[in-house]
Structure 1
Amino acid sequence: MALKILHTADWHIGQSLNGWSRTYEHQQFFKELEELIERHEVDALVVAGDVFDNQNPSADATQMLYEALARFREKRPHLVTVLTAGNHDPAGRVEAPGVLFQKIGVQAVGMVRRQDGLLDLSHHLVPLKDSAGAVKAYVLALPFPRATDLPGLSFSSSEEGSPVVRAVAELYEAAVQQAREQIGEMPLIATGHLHVAGGLESEGAERRILIGGEHAMPWEQFPDDLTYVALGHLHKPQKVGKETIRYSGSPFPLSVTEQHYKHGVNLLSFSDAGVLSIERLALSRPVPFHRLKGDGGLLLEELVPALDALELDGNLPVEQQPFVHVDLRPQVSAGGLKAEVDQILAEYPVRSAGVSVLRPKQQEVVSAEAESLIRLSEIQPDELFKSAFERVHGMEPEAKHLDYFYRAIAEAEVE
């Protein structure tokens, strides 16, 4: 009998966008995930980190998670869910409901546990059974690796390369070797919440997470005898290096840079002979997300016609109203571009996802020769700050941002 597994990640329950709650979208996502679990007769659900959006999730966020996990189990009474913590998650709180989770088939792994120097496989190695009760594969559940999870980490080593990447690779190598000693040649799926080199980031959406700024692990350093690597952290669905190392991606756009992504989950199927096939299952988008940018950015007078062209439904409740991000070209505005855009958007049944000011490419590209002629001492600190802020956020800093900057400068001078 075939074994079917759903790989998903980066739910970010509790997230808000520009101050707007995403609760409705998460509710709709969980309903659809529940339907997929039932329709495809799924035996196991693997969640590769960033279940929550922050280290202190609200009571509503945790309740939403628990209710969803319970409903999944009701649809498939033998379903096993493997839930691992990401860099956004509170590791201890992810594991806290352990005894209750066991009642609904959930194995939550928030941190790396060891006994006598070895990985505690009772915590990290999870058997996956088909509907007849036969074990067909295992999950090696590893969360986001924090410094305390890497006992071999040393920055004093004379070896070449990043000590962080090396320590993470050693963690996986040792864990897989230990698991193989127990399960033999059975299919083994490992989870990972980290940036694998070659994976494409969503600008501004994901933090560079490995310790010391070393955040990219080469995909070749995952042991070859892993059947599949279920990754989380990067929100763009993608495979890295080979077919069996994949990010499932976020369930819906968590930022404007994800507006064009094709969100979904990965369905893994093991035949009776143990042969793996991978299918991408698309997710519907609970709330439309529009990016209005025209040709190189809109002028203010072009925004109203662009909004009218969307043919918006004025009867939708607020939580179902579309998100709209506006890209503007540089232009003169007495009242401030962002304030005027917000005023216009307030007249429409939409929610603002932000405003960016696009800069002409010829202004963004500076030759190395020209750049070398600019002496750092000739540039005022606030000019450097303004330039960096515009590069990162696509708009000029507001008065409050400059105020924070000047305060920081004043505090530094006092010290």
Structure 2
Amino acid sequence: MAITLLHTADWHLGAQLQGWPREAEHRKALASLVAIAASRAVDAIVVAGDIFDSLNPPAEAQKLLYDTLKALRAARPAATIVLLAGNHDPGGRIEAPRALFDLVNVVGVGAISRREGAIDTGLHLVPLRGPGGAVEAHLLAVPYPRAADLPLVEREVEGSAIVHATRALYAELIAAARDKIGDAPLVVTGHLHVAGGLESEGAERRILVGGEHAVPPDLFPPDVAYVALGHLHRPQWVGRESVRYSGSLFPMSKTEIDYDHGVTIVTIDGGAAQVEHVPLERPTPCLRLPARGVLAAKEVEAAFAALGLDPALAIDERPFVHLNVAAEGPVVGLDAELGALAEKYPIRLASLAIERPRHAPEAPAATTLRLCERQPVDLFREAFAFAHKIEPTPGHLALFHAAAAEE
């Protein structure tokens, strides 16, 4: 009989954007995820790492996780729920509630576990039951592999020793699983960067030891029915359609604004997997002003006004705005000026990029004149142009002469 699972990852509970909390967005997105789990009658929910945004998540983030687990259990009473630690997660916190998790069919795996040196399949191998209650597949629950989890490489190898060790770890895990289940359908998880996957600039860390962070997709043998990956925020498959990143729930940075965020629904029938991306409605608008290119500073207020937003919009409902501005004059104080302007409108300024003029004057050429032979106003002109990349205006010169006259 076929079994259906919901694959999600990279929730980053507790995250902020330029100091703005994102809890309201998380609540909306996770409520949508629960609704999808219910409407698609899934038999399992797999969260492939980076549940939290930091190793010491705030109490609100932990409460939101447990609220979501409660809602998922109410929506799908018999579904198996599996939580994997990612590189952002405190593995111990994922595993600490294990005694309680066991009572409600939730599995939390924070680190690679061994018994007498061998992989603890009792922890890592999770049976997945179909609608009739029979075991239809197994899930090999593998969290982010930390340095202590990787086997030692005792001889010289071609290419990266870290990638070689990661390959050896997965080979050991999969072999241990196959020893238990034979050729039954197997789902494998991973929280790492698989070569060929597209990163979000500035959003994801290069996470394997020593910067050798990308493993080849053939790490996962073809007899694995599906590979549920976490870490990269763009929904995508790598190598083959059944090796997939579900992506994050909504944009975590401005580079992710154009992503089609969502979750992945996987139907496994025998050894074959059918994969479907299900989009999530964006809980809060994330805007880039302008959509392409840059605005002149004098155009910013009109762009804010053109959004046509209700001034009474609650803080949590206000869109995030990523502003790109071309400087037409001195940049000193421009960020503060634009920040103050943004506060007059019902938006949340998430980032501000100021682009200096492209044809800036070159730095003053070296001169053989002695300082006593230079005119103070000429020195002022050169210093101003060097610092601000434009020539001083008559107003600047008038202020200079006024200051010089006071001496």
Question: What is the TM-score of this pair, normalised by structure 2?
Answer: 0.85
Q: Is contact 1:70–1:104 with CA below 8 Å preserved after alignment?
A: no
CA offset at residue 361 of structure 1? Answer: 9.0
Q: Is contact 1:52–1:88 with CA below 8 Å preserved after alignment?
A: yes
CA 1:19–1:36: 2 relative to 1, 3 Å:
same
Larger Rg: 2
Q: Is contact 2:225–2:268 with CA below 8 Å preserved after alignment?
A: no
Q: Paired residue for 1:275?
A: 272
CA offset at residue 162 of structure 1? Answer: 0.7
Q: Paired residue for 1:357?
A: 354
CA offset at residue 228 of structure 1? Answer: 1.0
Q: Is contact 2:151–2:169 with CA below 8 Å preserved after alignment?
A: no
Q: Paired residue for 2:133?
A: 133
Q: Paired residue for 1:207?
A: 205
Question: Residue type of the partner of 1:53?
Answer: D
Residue-by-residue CA offset, 1:312-337 (whole Å, 9 max, x unaligned)? 12222101111001012243236523
Once residues 27 and 334 of structure 2 are traced to their aligned partners in structure 1, the CA distance between those partners, rounded to angstroms, is 34
CA offset at residue 225 of structure 1? Answer: 1.7
Instruction: Report 1:315-334 matches (<5 A).
Output: 315-333=312-330
Q: Is contact 1:264–1:281 with CA below 8 Å preserved after alignment?
A: yes
Q: Is contact 1:8–1:266 with CA below 8 Å preserved after alignment?
A: yes
Q: Is contact 2:2–2:130 with CA below 8 Å preserved after alignment?
A: yes
Once residues 255 and 153 of structure 2 are traced to their aligned partners in structure 1, the CA distance between those partners, rounded to angstroms, is 34
Question: Residue type of the partner of 1:211?
Answer: V
Deviating 4+ runs (over 6 angstroms): 359-363
CA offset at residue 294 of structure 1? Answer: 5.4
Residue-by-residue CA offset, 1:233-255 (whole Å, 9 max, x unaligned)? 01111111111111110100111
Once residues 121 and 5 of structure 2 are traced to their aligned partners in structure 1, the CA distance between those partners, rounded to angstroms, is 20
CA offset at residue 2 of structure 1? Answer: 2.8
Instruction: Report 1:21-60 matches (<5 A).
Output: 21-60=21-60
Instruction: Report 1:282-321 matches (<5 A).
Output: 282-293=279-290, 296-321=293-318
Instruction: Report 1:20-169 matches (<5 A).
Output: 20-153=20-153, 157-169=155-167
Q: Paired residue for 1:260?
A: 258
CA offset at residue 274 of structure 1? Answer: 4.7
Once residues 159 and 2 of structure 1 are traced to their aligned partners in structure 2, the CA distance between those partners, rounded to angstroms, is 42
Q: Is contact 1:296–1:358 with CA below 8 Å preserved after alignment?
A: no
Question: Residue type of the partner of 2:320?
Answer: F
Once residues 293 and 88 of structure 2 are traced to their aligned partners in structure 1, the CA distance between those partners, rounded to angstroms, is 34
CA offset at residue 159 of structure 1? Answer: 1.6
Equivalent position SS for 2:255: helix
CA 1:297–1:115: 2 relative to 1, 3 Å:
same
Q: Paired residue for 2:168?
A: 170
Q: Is contact 2:37–2:76 with CA below 8 Å preserved after alignment?
A: yes
Q: Is contact 1:324–1:352 with CA below 8 Å preserved after alignment?
A: yes
Q: Paired residue for 2:242?
A: 244
Residue identity over aligned pairs, in percent, reads: 49
Question: What is the TM-score of this pair, normalised by structure 1?
Answer: 0.84
Equivalent position SS for 2:241: coil
Question: Residue type of the partner of 1:279?
Answer: E
Once residues 356 and 144 of structure 2 are traced to their aligned partners in structure 1, the CA distance between those partners, rounded to angstroms, is 36
Question: Residue type of the partner of 1:312?
Answer: L
Structure 1 segments unaligned to the other structure (5+ residues): 364-395, 397-415
Q: Paired residue for 1:409?
A: none
Question: Residue type of the partner of 2:15?
Answer: Q
Once residues 187 and 233 of structure 1 are traced to their aligned partners in structure 2, the CA distance between those partners, rounded to angstroms, is 24
Q: Is contact 2:225–2:271 with CA below 8 Å preserved after alignment?
A: no
Q: Is contact 2:297–2:327 with CA below 8 Å preserved after alignment?
A: no
- How many residues were matched structurally? 361
Backbone CA RMSD of aligned residues: 1.8
CA offset at residue 32 of structure 1? Answer: 0.6
Once residues 225 and 271 of structure 2 are traced to their aligned partners in structure 1, the CA distance between those partners, rounded to angstroms, is 10
Structure 2 segments unaligned to the other structure (5+ residues): 361-387, 389-407
Comparing 298-307 with 195-204, greater Cα deviation is found at: 298-307
